[in-house]
Structure formats: structure tokens, C-alpha cells
Structure 1
Amino acid sequence: MKIDTKKIFISLLLISLWGGVGIAQELEDYLKIAAENNPKLQSAYTQFEAALQQSPQVSSLPDPTLTVSAFGRMVETRLGAQEARFSLMQMFPWFGTLKTKKEAADLLAEARFQEYLAMRADLFFEIKKAYAQLFAIEKTIALKEENLDILDSYRELSLSKFRSGSSKMVNVVRVDIKRDEALTEIELEKEQLESLKKQFNLLLNRDRQADVAIQDTLIFNPEIQNEIINPEEAFKMHPELAKFDREREAYESRAETAQKSGLPNFGIGVDYSIISKRRDANPPMNGQDAIMPMFSVSLPIFRKKYKAAEKEAELMQEAAIQNKEARENQLLSEFEQTVYDLNKADKLLKLYERQIESSNQANRLLVSAFSNNDGDFEEVLQMNQDILMLKTQQIEALKTGFTAQAKMDYLSAKTENYDEKN
């Protein structure tokens, strides 16, 4: 894909913004681990494999019937006494019945596979969302630790000014208050980071204490929604909608199966009788065994069950259509919200970049004025807090934008094949 110069590559090690595209290797590795290890995803794939076993079950002929009769008291015939009788019968359903049953089973199995794909896409979104949160907290901690160094420099400056008699001791105390507040916030956020890392590892179904590497950059492409010109067309490939299509087609085949099940079944067989020789006479073909071909046909005269099965299949078709319509509306609603989130994040990131640049310039002027005994130290502290707040908001905007981008990937059915099952 050609890189658009409008795309934004954001590095928040020093909170700088500008162009690039792709996903970092660490996140790709986590997606691969999740695709292979997540038990819920494995369960969905196992259900698909189980559904595949339905096809050979429903498309096979019924077992033939063998009947053996031994007479305690021999039945006399003209050619001799009938000692035993063997009957073999094979029933056949109406033409095309097995085919429609197989089609329905195959389509339902495909629906289970689409359900698995939808679950995988949702899992990838949750991992990207959790990863963005980890990134945001880690970068916020780094930002506040960097701010501690700035506060230390302000403390030294205000203490030096106090010793020279050009400033009050209260300015030193104000810095200490801000510093203590920052240390507490950092400690709480580190605890939160450890908790979120454990939750992230559980998503991957691995040891909760496993190390989670977090990249120094997140990639945000605010123009991604422009790739989806017609959301209705794009969503046709979404696995959740494809699942309902396969279910509808499966129930169409079941309705046809119900119709054919109401038609006669046919049976073809053979009857073999063992006859002993007569001793009181010697007629022609004396004692010759009897072989008799047989043909049977079922009489489906009780129609209520066939009509009910056909009606059930028709209603299930309607339910699949209604479920698809409801889910499609939900996807469209999520799409509109995601487009808004992408645009909002893009605008806020650009705004914060401008504001940080201007605030840094103002902060330098305030510090210079205070150093020359021509400024208010409280204004210096407030401006520093404003810059910290803007940088923190910048991180949150990036997290929101990256999460919205991941949601757009999910909505447009962009799921990486990080497993080897398909």
C-alpha cells in the first residue's frame, strides 16, 4: 500500500508526532501468540471441526437390515421342510435427500468457521486495545518521571533565589508539594501497569508474570476510514454477517430436506430360505433352497411432522435474515462512531502538538523572568503543570486514535492470518 504523506507516525518517547505506517514486531508477536493459545478461540475452532463431522453422518445411507429366522417347528413346503430364513434389506431415501442433508451440514460447519473468524478478529481488537492502554500508561509514567527532573531543577532555582534573598521559601515548599504528588501518581500508575500486564498475559493464555515488551511507538493512520468508501459493501465480507448468510442457506437446504423426507423411501432386498429334502417323496427340485428378491416402499401418510419440519426451517431462515440485519445495523453504528473517534484523535493530536510548542516557549519566558527577579514562580509551576497535562492528553489521544484504528480494522474484516488453521 502506498504511504500517504498525511499519515501520522507518532513517537511518544519524547512526545513527537509524524508519518509512517505498519504494526511493530512486538504487537505482531502477541497477536500470533493469542491466535495459537487463547482457549476461547481454540474452543471456537474445535466446534468448527466438530461441525465438519456432521456431513458424513447425515449423508450416509441407513444401515442395511439382516433378519434371521430359525423355525423350532419346521414349516413344510411342497419341496421340503423350511429350516431357516435369511432376509437382507437396504432402504434408500427419496432422490436428492442425502445431498440436501449434506449441503445443510456443510453450510452450518462453514457458519461455525465464520464464527471462529469473527471471534479471532474480536480477540485481535481486544489485544490491540489492551496494548494501547499499556503503552499509554508506560509513556505517562516516563513523562512524569521526566517531569520530576524538571521539578528538581525548579527547586534548586527557587532555593537559590531564596538564599540570595530574592524569593520566598514558600516557592520551595510548593515544588515539594508538586513533587510528592507526582511520586504518588507514578507509584499508583506503576501498580496499575503491573495489573494490566497480568490481564494482558491472560488474554494470551500464558503465565501472568511473563514479561510484556512495549514498543516506543504506536502507529496511527487517521485516513484509514477513507479506504472504506462504501461501508455496506465492505461489511459484506465481515465474518459475523457471512455466518448468518451460511445459516440462512443451510436452513434453505433443510427446508428442501423436509420436503423430500415427506416422499416415500424405497427398499431393495433379498430373502433366502433353507429347505431340507423330503423323504416321503421325490418331487422335482426336491430340497432346493428358495431365493426371493424383495422391494418395499414407505408410506409417509402422517404429514404433520413433515410440514412442521419445513415450517421450522423457513422460520430459522427468517431469523438468520433478521439477525444479519440487526448485526449489520450495529456494525454501521460502530463504524460511524469509529470514524468520529479517528477524526477527533487526529484533530486533538495536532492541537496538542501546537499547544505544547507554544507552552514550552511561554514556559521558557516565565523561567527566564523569574531568574531575573521579574516573574511569579507560581506561574512557572502552573505552566509546567499545563505542559504536563497537554502531553498526558496527547498520549490519551494517541491511545484513542490507535484503538479506533484497530476497531476499523475489525469492522472492515481486516484480520491477519496469525494462526495456521486456515
Structure 2
Amino acid sequence: MMRVRCRIRFLIAVGGLALGIPVAGCMQPGLVSWPAGSASVANSAGEEGPPARGRDPRVVPARLESAREREGPDRPEVSAAPLPPGGALEDEPRPSAVPGAMPLDACIRAALDGNATVRAARFNVEALRQRIPQVTALDDPILSNSIYPIPSVAPQYSLMGYMPYGALLAQQFPWCGTLRLRGLAAEKDVRIALFELAATELDAVAATKRAYHDLRYAERAEVLLIRNRKLASEFLEIARARYPTATASQPDVLRSEVAVTDIDREIEDNRAALADARAELARVMHADPEAELRTAPDLAVEGIPQPLDRLYQLALSARPDLQGRLAAIDRDEAAVALARKKAYPNVTLGVLYQDMEKTNAMTPQTAGGMPNVGLFVGMNLPVYRKKIAAGVCEAQARAAADRALYEAERDQSRRDIKALFALARSQQNVLAILRRSNLPAARQMLRLTASEYRSNVAGVDFLSVAAAWRDLLQVELQVARSEAELGKTIASLERGVGVQLNDSPPPAAAGGGPRP
């Protein structure tokens, strides 16, 4: 299965700003998001995006860009330790291509395209993007009208006349820089939502890989159990053929029948696990739960990346959870500056119009009857300084809280990476021991014992054959389970780091890299 390491680059242009958020991933070219692409959100200035009217929701499809185009200088190199030889079991029948089998990359594509949680995160990005033009716009202007239909109780001016109508049009203007800070804070919210989208996509990819490995183990276990049932049936026929000649006892026949029954019971249990694994993979992919999903036969178990300190560096630069915390800190800095702006007044400018007429004027001889036009200026008085200071302190406390949350997220990521790395190493070592020692020995033991039992060698009864046969079956199942668990652990480790681990990145390119 060809893999191409990719980095997610989210582009959003708002208010003349372009925000680039690199989050790495992996998959073949043309996939949807991590590891399949990037979510691009358009702005109102004509950048890439859907039209203002028409399709709703207006979320731009994700786009994939090569890691060689998006690589930054802070991206450390990670190499993979190869697995020991013997990846495929000797004498194990290789599964043939099954109709309807889906490779892992295809399942990831389907999950990122249809997973409801991922789609919800995309809608959240679009919703926050639409908030930017709202917070950067002025408040609606105020238009007031005054009508005085009764001249005797209406404003009368000896030199101007009777005023039956008056109007006021006013517009409030925040203090200098307030709208810019509002837009900056909204842009940071969009940036945070983009990182949340990347984290959601990583969760979907990791869940897909884990479900895929569970399904693959259940399928391999079914193949092993069916093959061993045929072997148990063969031993049963041998015991039944020897029983009339007194070369086999009745307990041997009964033990053979029980062995076949035990295999049948294990096959039924495995079918239940197979159905559960298919249902879980269908849930992650947002597919029909009744679909007969099957895994590809050529899935290889990847090696463990090393060294550990490189994984820590990758997590700091690429894990979207950490980058989202940094974006929250940036947003809080804008919120602190915005809270300080409340210490300055907002200015209101307006235009006055007063209609005048001689008719019904108290002194029509002196009334001019000319309309009046004037200007209006007003402002609020920020005199409650304690309230303003409390707002600044609140914003500063939120910024301090987000810094502490970033440190907590960083510590948690290091802990998860170390624990998963140690677990993967242990699983790889166990798998190597099973392949190198236990599996060849169990096969050789069954081969010799079965040959002697078929040849009716004295002292070799069915108990010896059954013990060797069950030992081999358990070892084969342990190998299949160990491979599945190792694949699931590596998937969780990739989620903790934020990138595909077993592809060496290209040399660092010139330009700005992710924030450390």
C-alpha cells in the first residue's frame, strides 16, 4: 500500500489576513483530509470558496497538498525501525483478493468524507468564519422622527415659524482600533476551530485504523479456525477408522469429537467478534451497518519510529491540540487589548433636520419658514473605572488559564507518547519472539506428532496430537492478535504525535515553520 505523507494546510483569508495552519498527516494523493487534505475556508474578498448564494452549508471541500510543498524547517526527521524478518507466517495460506475488500486508505477516505463528527467540525469552522464580518462592521445607524401635528402645542419660533416635523440620523463609531481587535479575535476563533477540525480528523483516522485492524484480526482468525477445523476433522476420521481395529481407543474418538466441537464454538464466537468489528468500522465510516466490509490482504505491519525525543518535537510542532492552545493564547491577547479599549469613549455623529413653515405659525409676519439643518455629536462617558478594570482582569485571567491548559496538554501529550511508544516496543518484541521461536517450534512439533500419529507409531496417541495442534493454533492466533494490537498502538501513537510516523520527511525548506 503506497503511502504519501501529507501535511494539512488550512487556508483562510479574512479581513486581508491569510492564516496558514500546517498539520501533518498521511495518505495517498487526492484524499479528503488528515491524512487526506486541507480545509479551505473562503472570505468575502473573492478568494477560493463557494458563492454567497446557493449551496448551503457553504463549506469548501478539503484539499490535499504534498508534504514536500508544505514542509517547514522545524520539522524533525523520524526514521522507522524495520520489523524483524518473518512478517508473513510460514506455511500460512495467504488470503486471496476478496470481492468488496477495501484497502485501509479507502476506508480512511470514506471516514473523512462521511464521518458526522468531522462534518460537524467543518460546519463549525464555517459558522465562526461568518462571524468575522459581523464583529468588524459598525452598529446599525439610528434614525428618529418627531412629528408635531398640533400647532398650538408644537415648537414655535418667532423668526423661523412652526416646526411640524423633525428627524435625526446618527451613527456610533467605536474608539480607534476596536473593530480591528474584534476582527482579530474572531480570526483567532476561526484558527482554533481549524485546529479542532484537524484534531477531529486525526481522531477519525485513528479510529478507522483501529477498527480496521480489529476487523482484519477477526478475518484472519476465521481463516485459521476453519483451517484447523479441517485438521481436527481429519484426526477424527483417523480415530474412527482405527477404533474397529483396536489401534485407537474410544476416548480418542470422543476427544476428537470434542475437539471439533470446540473449534465450532470458537468459530461462532469469532463470527460475533467479526460482526462487531464490521459494525464499528461502518460507524466510523458513516456506512451501512449491514455492509459486508472486508479488509485488503496485503496490509503490512509498520515498524516503530525512533527515537523518542523526535516524537516529542513532532508533537510540539504538528499536534493540532497543542497548536489550538497556542491559537487560544493569541486570541486571549487580543481579548485583553479589546478590554482595555473600553476605557475610551465611543463617538456618535449625527445629522439634524427640522422642517419649518409659515402656515400655522404664531407670528407668520416674522417667520421665515426655512428648514433647519444641523450636526449632532455625542459620546459615552466611561466613568465606571472599576468595571473596566474588572473586564481587563477577567481577560488576563482567561489568558493565564489558556497558558496553563497548553502546558497541561503538552505534558499529557508527552505522557501519551511515551506510554504508547513503550507499549509498541513491547508488542513488537513479543511479535518477534512469536515469529522467531514459538511459531516455528509449534509447527515442527505438530508436523512430527501428526506424522507419527498417521503412521500409528507406538506411544503417540491423540492426546499428543491434540496438544501440539492446540499449541500451534494458539500461537497463530497470538501472532495475528499481536499484529493487530501493534497496528492499533501505532495508530494511537500517530494520533498523539499528529503525523504519519513511518515516512521520513524531506529536507527542511526555506521559510517560516510552525510555532514552537
| TM superposition score normalised by structure 2 | 0.73
> Paired residue for 1:365?
448
Distance in 1 between the 2:320 and 2:160 partners?
Answer: 71
> 1:161 Cα shift?
4.0
Equivalent positions of 1:285-324 (< 5 A) are 286-324=368-406
Of the two, which has the highest radius of gyration?
Answer: 1
Q: Which moved more, 1:226-235 or 1:350-359?
A: 226-235
> For 2:125, which of 23, 48, 52 is the aligned residue?
48
Matched, 1:199 2:284: no
Distance in 2 between the 1:5 and 1:335 partners?
Answer: 17
Question: If each structure's helix is expressed as a fraction of its own residues, which one has the higher value?
Answer: 1
> For 1:104, which of 185, 193, 205 is the aligned residue?
185
Conserved? CA contact 2:442–2:475, under 8 Å: no
Going from structure 1 to structure 2, the CA distance change for 1:108 and 1:27 (only over 3 Å counts) comes to: same
**Secondary structure class of the residue paired with 2:318:** coil
> Paired residue for 2:474?
389
Q: Which moved more, 1:152-161 or 1:82-91?
A: 152-161
Q: Which amino acid aligns with 2:472?
A: I
Conserved? CA contact 1:55–1:102, under 8 Å: yes
> Paired residue for 2:61?
none
| TM superposition score normalised by structure 1 | 0.89
> 1:130 Cα shift?
1.2
> For 2:146, which of 40, 55, 69 is the aligned residue?
69
> 1:396 Cα shift?
0.9
Distance in 1 between the 2:410 and 2:348 partners?
Answer: 48
Q: Deviation digits for residues 216-246 of structure 1, max 9, x if unmatched?
A: 2432222324486141443332111111111
Conserved? CA contact 1:218–1:402, under 8 Å: no
Going from structure 1 to structure 2, the CA distance change for 1:280 and 1:6 (only over 3 Å counts) comes to: closer
Structure 1 unaligned residues grouped into runs of 5+: 18-23, 417-422
> 1:320 Cα shift?
1.3
> Paired residue for 1:20?
none
Going from structure 1 to structure 2, the CA distance change for 1:288 and 1:162 (only over 3 Å counts) comes to: same
> 1:372 Cα shift?
4.6
Conserved? CA contact 2:145–2:165, under 8 Å: yes
Conserved? CA contact 1:228–1:234, under 8 Å: no
Equivalent positions of 1:20-419 (< 5 A) are 26-71=103-148, 72=150, 73-226=154-307, 229-277=310-358, 280-281=364-365, 286-354=368-436, 355-370=438-453, 371-377=455-461, 378-414=463-499
Distance in 1 between the 2:494 and 2:93 partners?
Answer: 25
Q: Deviation digits for residues 368-421 of structure 1, max 9, x if unmatched?
A: 3332523332222101111111001001100111001111221221279xxxxx
Q: Which moved more, 1:168-177 or 1:144-153?
A: 168-177
Going from structure 1 to structure 2, the CA distance change for 1:306 and 1:330 (only over 3 Å counts) comes to: same
Structure 2 unaligned residues grouped into runs of 5+: 5-77, 95-100, 502-516
Q: Which amino acid aligns with 2:460?
A: D
Fraction of identical pairs, as percent? 22
Q: CA RMSD in A?
A: 2.7
Q: Which moved more, 1:65-74 or 1:366-375?
A: 366-375
Q: Deviation digits for residues 170-195 of structure 1, max 9, x if unmatched?
A: 22221111111111110121123123
Q: Deviation digits for residues 186-210 of structure 1, max 9, x if unmatched?
A: 0121123123322322222222111
Distance in 1 between the 2:123 and 2:104 partners?
Answer: 26
Q: Which moved more, 1:172-181 or 1:306-315?
A: 306-315
